[in-house]
Amino acid sequence: MIPPRALRFGLRLVVATALLSGILVWIAPPADLLAAAAAAQPRWLLLAASLTPIGLVLQWWKWRRLVRVGLPHIGERDILRSLFTGFGLGLLTPGRLGELGRGSLWPGDRLQAMTLAAADRLVSSAVTLVAGAACALYMVPAAWGLWAVVAVLVAGLLLRRFSTYLGDRLAVWRQRSALARVSRPAWLGNIIVAILFNMLFFFQMFCLLRATGPVNAEAVVAIPILFAIKTLLPISLMDLGVREGAAVAVLGAVGVAAATAVQAALMLFGLNVLVPGLAGLLVLSLGTRTTRLPNSTQRVEFAHVR
């Protein structure tokens, strides 16, 4: 019998392969992608690549801020290692949900670390969704925008009856977790850095699009929308296919060529997901090996004494 975890992994891999294959066969063939890459201006590509380390620093600061107040006994080196551990685990999961396992190498603090990582991820996702929704309302006709507002209000009224019950349960859960030690200034700092990180992410996508030619104002406004769609649809491994499909659908509606949109999305994946993820897998493997080494050494010492 196939384990459920392996089955989910296989299904997400199938979804990613199917979506990406469909895009490369029917929408943006590899020949068109190579032509777009050959025509790209290096200075814009270098600018996009130079923003990746800045993004990593912002993510580290966000995560460090929460850990230092939530789990103050965790050292600086362990905080940095945990960030890359999350990148490695996120590389193998849809929507990069594996990043919730940042503290998997912290014995005794794994559940608390997962709580903090979930809060950190939730703040960043909320900023992405708010930015995407605002841009969508700006771009759609007034009638559609009005219907969207009405839908939000109706949803709010339907959820209101459950708010008291859910709020009480969340309050109890919060008091029992590391979140209880996170102050309001720490949350405010986390939100501000999440906004800066999202802005950097959007600008990075703009640079990758601009490398192949001028980008109109509508395309700039549409960039947050495609990331909001990707956030709402964590159905494929590493978001492959979903990211590129959203780029084609959203950017194509404002005049961006399919090959340009797919190429930019794939490059962004390489810069912000693949490279940090591979580094994270290396950190994870080294950390796992280090934690196992003392037990192995201890067995050898006891064997020698006997």
Tens-place pLDDT, residues 78-128: 999 999 999 998 887 776 777 888 888 787 778 888 889 988 998 999 899
Please report how many Cα atoms fall inside a 13 Å half-sphere around the Cα of residue 131, on the Cβ side.
Answer: 26
Query: How far from the centroid of its chain's Cα atoms is residue 218's Cα?
Result: 24
Has residue 284 been placed in a domain? yes
Report if residue 18 sits inside a domain. Answer: no
Any domain includes 37: yes
Q: How many domains is the chain partitioned into structurally?
A: 1
Query: Taking the alpha carbons of 159, 132, 202, 31 in that order, is the dihedral positive or negative?
Result: positive
Tell me the C-alpha to C-alpha distance, in Å, between residue 74 and each of 108, 176, 180, 190, 282. 11, 19, 17, 18, 21
Residue 265: count of CB within 10 angstroms of its CB: 28
Residue 94: strand pairing partners: 237
Mean local confidence (pLDDT), 25-43: 92
Alpha carbons 115 and 103: distance in angstroms, whole number: 10
Could you give the CA distance from residue 106 to residue 256 in angstroms, rounded to a whole number? 46
Residue 139: inside a domain, yes or no?
A: yes
In a domain, 174, yes or no: yes
Residue 300 covered by a domain: no
In a domain, residue 7? The reply is: no
Q: Tell me the residue range of the domain where 255 lies.
A: 33-292
Q: How far apart are CA 192 and CA 56, in angstroms?
A: 15
- Its pTM stands at 0.84
Helix or strand run (H / E) with residue 62: helix 42-70
Q: Which range (25-29, 37-41, 137-141, 181-185) has the least confidence?
A: 137-141
Convert the pLDDT of each residue in 59-82 to its tens digit. 999 999 999 998 999 999 999 999
pLDDT score, position 295: 45
Nearest to 244 by CA among 67, 76, 78, 26: 26
Contact partners, residue 10, CB within 8 Å, separation at least 6 = 2
Judge whether 6 lies within some domain: no
